[in-house]
Amino acid sequence: MTSLQGDIVNRVKRFPKPSQAAEALQPVFEAVSNALHAIEDQHGENFQDKGRIVVTFANVSDADKIEITVSDNGIGLDGDRFDAFCKTDTPFKFDRGGKGVGRLLWLDAFNEISVVSHFENDGRLYRRSFKFGLRDTDQIYEEELTEIGSGSIEAGTVVKFSGLRESAYRGKFPVQRATIVKHFGSHFFADFILGRSPNIVVDIDGESAEFPEEIKKLQVEDRGVASLETEEFGELNLASFICLKQASANFDGQHQLHLVANGRTVTTRKIDGLIGIGRFGSDSDQVYHGCISGEFLDARVNQERTQFNFDENIVDQIVKECAEHVRTNALHEEIDRFDSERLGGLREFIGDYPSFGFEEAEALLTRVPKNAVKDEQYAQALIPIRIRRDKERNQKIQSIVSQLEAGEDVPDNFAETIQSAANEVRAEEQRQLTEYVLRRKIVLDVMHVLIRRIRDRGDDKTDFHLEETLHKFICPMRMRGDDPSRVESAEHDLWVIDERFTFTKYFSSDMEFRDIIDEETGRERADLLIYDRLHGLGAEGEDPLRRMMLVEFKKPGRKDYSERYSPLNQVSEYISKLKNNEIEDYRGSRIRIADDCVFYCYVVADIVGKLDIHTSTWRTTSNGRGRIQPLEGKFRGVIEIVEWADLLDDARLRNLAFLDAAGLNFKT
């Protein structure tokens, strides 16, 4: 009979090569895992107290001269263990997750490997030493086995690695102490946090870190181990820990679930979005770490214990099930407080944007991501739901209409169906109206406060920007409404002046006349010029403009007009540039201004000081506070001075019925 023979060299060549620092350290981690098993075998239940592992890194920045030693006081390589070492894919430690290939990773990574081990046999102490290399034959060479006298020497093993061999390892092996310590703590996190580790010292060029203390000192509270019975994955054990935020410094995200196989962390997933909460605790400095283990994971880890042999979506399912358990059990108190705060924030959001209030706030909270705390996050989650609801409602109404038009027999509950659809439409209209009116209320309330602030400052020049702010609240400055490159910024609130201008598109705000009038070179600019042919002042078509509006905004409370200033002169100068001329829009079309165009001109100002004197001969408006002057001679139209208070009062009156319907009121 003939046995198959393995090809060690080709097998090692086919191993996956490291693509990141953690994978480049895997051969060292395998040596540490062997040391942990040896200590457990030697010291039994006392392995945590009596065991000791020292990992020393020297010359880490030089791939040729790097030396790494892993020493332990474990059971040593006795006869059985040495036989297992000499056999690939041995089942010797299969029940503890050993795959029998860890030492082959040593051959893949390092140029030279030497092993010195002391062990007891029948009360006698022996020393075994050998070298281990990547060869076609005789991979174990220079082997020595000697009996030594009893003394201070204790059982244990020292494995020494020298020089990195593969370019992949040379390129990915970490050279920074912090990086090595970080990955060391991450890889054995489950052992350290679960208290399954003896003392381990990691020394890097003379600077050392001690485990599990590096991890345990970050632990705030052990919240126990829960057993989760799952249909697809069998029994999973979830150990939960509250840690200081520094425990997550080397991970992506705040809260982590570590998937553990055979006592080793295989992969870690952040669960911030699944549990929602950020850092918690009295100082907001605590995070969650959980360790998931179970037979399902033990049986499906690859031979290098770096990945699971199942699709990534399986990992996602396991993590989601465990994260939900964390929310409802391990962190239920913290989550309850967090969700209570979120509910308050969501209610405020619905108050500001009533169209999203299509369900009770408690129900809506279940529809948004668990970590949603901002208005934008609420809106992003609820907009698709609102669209679906609107679509379903419209389909229901269309179905009713179709039934009635077709003369079909209707069911007994048809009246209820119609009433239900009508109620849904009415409720949606109310929400939309409330949101629409609420925005208008905010605009007018802010303008009220802003005007009062400017008046109170008087002649103080330091708040000059507030005047621009007031203008911008009504209409953005230094732009044209038909500029296609500024569609979003062209949104305005010209309804404050007149409801007909709610959807006005053709306007210029604080633009020089030479930028809007064909062949004009003057740099004068009107605060606001409205020439919309589609919405407000005229009909659609090719006819010349026969109506235009000019608006000038003056600082609230201003008194210091010059002796030569006259609203009539200012407006007349503007009209002379417009009349019989052409406005060129951004599409290249020319809009001719008719010779008999009627100009509606408004000056929004407080009629005090010199302005009161200069317009004292004008007629007063119907409320007795404004001033009005018809344009005569070559010009047709009217100039009206409207006080800021009257502008706001008129806008409020126009919207009062809507506010009453929405249960709102203006600031006084």
pLDDT by residue (tens digit) across 241-290? 999 998 887 788 899 999 998 877 888 899 999 999 999 999 999 999 99
Q: Indicate whether 536 pLDDT > 50.
A: no
Say how far apart CA 526 and CA 514 lie, in whole Å. Answer: 11
Statement to judge: residues 206 and 255 lie in one domain: no
The pLDDT value recorded for residue 90 is: 52
The pLDDT value recorded for residue 203 is: 95
The pLDDT value recorded for residue 563 is: 85
The rounded percent of the chain whose pLDDT value lies above 70 is 86
Statement to judge: residues 209 and 313 lie in one domain: no
Tokens of 332: 């239920």
Residue at which a domain ends, from 215, 233, 253 = 215
Question: For residue range 100-150, what is the model confidence (pLDDT) as tens digits?
Answer: 577 889 999 999 999 999 999 888 899 999 999 988 888 899 999 999 876
Q: Indicate whether 93 pLDDT > 60.
A: no
Q: Indicate whether 537 pLDDT > 60.
A: no
Statement to judge: residues 82 and 181 lie in one domain: yes
Residues 95 and 61 sit within 8 Å (Cβ to Cβ): no
Q: Indicate whether 667 pLDDT > 50.
A: yes
Domain that holds residue 462: 446-655
Question: For residue range 584-593, what is the model confidence (pLDDT) as tens digits?
Answer: 766 667 788 8
The pLDDT value recorded for residue 403 is: 67
Task: Give the mean model confidence (pLDDT) for residues 533-556.
Answer: 72
Statement to judge: residues 256 and 367 lie in one domain: no
Of 649, 561, 570, residue with least CA distance to 609? 561
Question: For residue range 163-182, what is the model confidence (pLDDT) as tens digits?
Answer: 998 788 999 999 999 889 98
Give the residue with greater pLDDT, 464 vs 482.
Answer: 482
Residues 153 and 160 sit within 8 Å (Cβ to Cβ): no
Domain membership of residue 342 (yes or no) is no
Residue at which a domain ends, from 193, 215, 237 = 215
Q: 56 phi and psi, to 5 degrees?
A: -115, 130
Residue type, 431: R
The pLDDT value recorded for residue 350 is: 83
Say how far apart CA 167 and CA 350 lie, in whole Å. Answer: 59
- Helix-helix angle 26-43:102-109, to 10 degrees: 140
Say how far apart CA 299 and CA 537 lie, in whole Å. Answer: 78
Quote the DSSP letter at residue 33.
Answer: H
Q: 269 phi and psi, to 5 degrees?
A: -125, 135
Task: Give the mean model confidence (pLDDT) for residues 68-80.
Answer: 94
The pLDDT value recorded for residue 464 is: 63
Q: Indicate whether 336 pLDDT > 70.
A: yes
- pLDDT bin (cut points 50, 70, 90) of residue 9 is confident
The pLDDT value recorded for residue 305 is: 64
> Looking up tokens 């392995």, which residue turns up?
47
Quote the DSSP letter at residue 456.
Answer: H
β-strands 636-642, 590-604 pairing:
parallel
Residues 502 and 519 sit within 8 Å (Cβ to Cβ): no
Which of 275-279, 319-323, 454-458, 601-605 is the least confident region?
454-458
Task: Give the mean model confidence (pLDDT) for residues 194-212.
Answer: 92
Give the residue with greater pLDDT, 542 vs 32.
Answer: 32
Q: Indicate whether 59 pLDDT > 90.
A: yes
Domain membership of residue 103 (yes or no) is yes
CA-based torsion, 611, 616, 619, 623: positive or negative = positive
Task: Give the mean model confidence (pLDDT) for residues 629-658.
Answer: 90
Residue at which a domain ends, from 171, 200, 215 = 215
The pLDDT value recorded for residue 99 is: 46
Of 544, 459, 535, residue with least CA distance to 492? 535
Statement to judge: residues 526 and 628 lie in one domain: yes
Statement to judge: residues 248 and 188 lie in one domain: no
Q: Indicate whether 63 pLDDT > 90.
A: yes
Say how far apart CA 277 and CA 337 lie, in whole Å. Answer: 10
Q: Indicate whether 488 pLDDT > 70.
A: no
Statement to judge: residues 149 and 199 lie in one domain: yes
Cα–Cα distances in angstroms (integers) from residue 571 to residues 575, 601, 633, in the given order? 6, 7, 14
CA-based torsion, 412, 417, 418, 419: positive or negative = positive
Q: Indicate whether 354 pLDDT > 70.
A: yes
Domain membership of residue 661 (yes or no) is no
Residue 36's CATH number: 3.30.565.10
Say how far apart CA 107 and CA 135 lie, in whole Å. Answer: 9
- pTM, two decimals, is 0.57
Q: Indicate whether 623 pLDDT > 50.
A: yes
Domain membership of residue 132 (yes or no) is yes
Of 433, 412, 606, 589, residue with least CA distance to 518? 589
Cα–Cα distances in angstroms (integers) from residue 124 to residues 120, 121, 156, in the given order? 5, 5, 14
Which of 33-47, 500-514, 653-667 is the least confident region?
653-667
Statement to judge: residues 209 and 242 lie in one domain: no
Q: Indicate whether 306 pLDDT > 80.
A: no
Task: Give the mean model confidence (pLDDT) for residues 544-556.
Answer: 90
The pLDDT value recorded for residue 454 is: 85
Which of 322-336, 469-483, 511-525, 535-549 is the least confident region?
535-549
Statement to judge: residues 570 and 602 lie in one domain: yes
Task: Give the mean model confidence (pLDDT) for residues 493-519.
Answer: 84
Tokens of 649: 């009062």
Measured at the CA of 352, the angle between CA 346 and CA 353, to 5 degrees, comes to: 85
Q: Across all residues in the chain, what is the average pLDDT?
A: 85
The pLDDT value recorded for residue 535 is: 41
Domain membership of residue 285 (yes or no) is yes
Domain membership of residue 439 (yes or no) is no
Residues 69 and 81 sit within 8 Å (Cβ to Cβ): no
Domain membership of residue 300 (yes or no) is yes
Domain membership of residue 168 (yes or no) is yes
Residue type, 363: A
Statement to judge: residues 394 and 511 lie in one domain: no
Quote the DSSP letter at residue 278.
Answer: -
Query: Structural domain tally of the chain?
Result: 4
Give the residue with greater pLDDT, 344 vs 440.
Answer: 344
Task: Give the mean model confidence (pLDDT) for residues 49-62.
Answer: 95
The pLDDT value recorded for residue 589 is: 73
Cα–Cα distances in angstroms (integers) from residue 253 to residues 70, 256, 451, 655, in the given order? 32, 8, 47, 48
The pLDDT value recorded for residue 580 is: 82
Say how far apart CA 579 and CA 594 lie, in whole Å. Answer: 7
Question: For residue range 384-438, what is the model confidence (pLDDT) as tens digits?
Answer: 887 787 777 777 767 766 766 676 666 666 667 667 766 676 667 667 777 777 7
Statement to judge: residues 403 and 501 lie in one domain: no
Statement to judge: residues 274 and 170 lie in one domain: no
